[in-house]
Structure 1
Amino acid sequence: MVLAAGAAGAAYLYGTDPHEPGHWLPGCPFRALTGLLCPGCGGTRMAYDVLHGDLVTAWHDNALLLAATPFVLYLLGCWLYEGLRGRRWRPVPNTRVQLGLLGVAVVWSVLRNVI
């Protein structure tokens, strides 16, 4: 079910350019309220560019998310592998990992709004 929803979303995104206005893709509520970029801003545009093989523009849209993509795909693969074997897989990151991810997100947000 999750894979079907992901495939449907990717198919819709492939045919819908988020760089152009007039689409049904959601905007960032944080940016709408503050005018600032959050760590995920540009993620939809980045995914569109990756689907079309334009990695340079994808890097420009959100470099942090693009750099994290292989790690996320690895985690998705682990989840899928365990699910196909009939087991639940829920990684529980320790406090140090959680604080590290939060720190990277905060630094990324500050840098992309200042530069």
Structure 2
Amino acid sequence: MSTEESWGPVEPAAPTGASVRRRTLRQASIALGTVAAAAVYLWHTDPHQPGQLLIPCPFKWATGLLCPLCGGTRMAYDLMHGDAVTAFHDNAVLLTLAGPAVAYAVGRWLVAGLAGRVYRPRLSARGNAVVLGIAAVWMVARNLVG
């Protein structure tokens, strides 16, 4: 008879506040370093110019259509260089809706993690439908308008 049969399944221990804080700081440090390195590279690489070493959109490559995220790299470049009007032109929905939503989720995650609590954002079925609906409408609109 195995140990699991005699004692039952082993439940994982709940994370302690200190371990959640350490994990949050480690993950935030890695993310910050990665974003900083990408920002330094992007600062010197103008995505508006052809021939730059940047990852192309696989959806646009395969279909020739703009996906809801197309223009995000150009938008980030323009924001870093203080050109909000051009950033808005590159991807208005990503700038006005997704940017604040991601900032809110990351902020909530950091506050909870540094307080020793685990934060896992959940999106309801209605929330998923809203996000996918906005993405679909934006994709169709920007491909029709050009």
Query: TM-score by structure 2 length?
Result: 0.74
Query: TM-score by structure 1 length?
Result: 0.93
Cα distance in 2, alignment partners of residues 82 and 25 from structure 1: 34
Residue 9 of structure 1: aligned partner: 38
Q: Deviations over 1:28-77 (max 9, x none)?
A: 01001111000000000001001111010001100000102122212111
Q: 2:49 aligns with which of 14, 20, 43?
A: 20
Cα distance in 2, alignment partners of residues 99 and 34 from structure 1: 24
What percentage of aligned pairs have identical amino acids? 56
Residue 111 of structure 1: aligned partner: 141
Residue 95 of structure 2: aligned partner: 66
Q: Which structure exhibits the higher relative contact order, with contacts defined as CA atoms closer than 8 Å and separated by 6 or more residues?
A: 2
Q: Deviations over 1:10-32 (max 9, x none)?
A: 11111111111222210101001
1:48 and 2:77 are equivalent in the alignment = yes
Q: Give structure 1 stretches of 5+ with no counterpart.
A: none
User: The residue matched to 2:137 in structure 1 has which SS?
Assistant: helix
Tell me which stretches of 4 or more aligned residues in structure 1 moved more than 4 Å: none
Q: Deviations over 1:65-103 (max 9, x none)?
A: 010212221211112222323333211111000011000
- Larger deviation: 11-20 or 100-109? 11-20
Q: Give structure 2 stretches of 5+ with no counterpart.
A: 1-29
Cα distance in 2, alignment partners of residues 9 and 84 from structure 1: 25
1:80 and 2:110 are equivalent in the alignment = yes
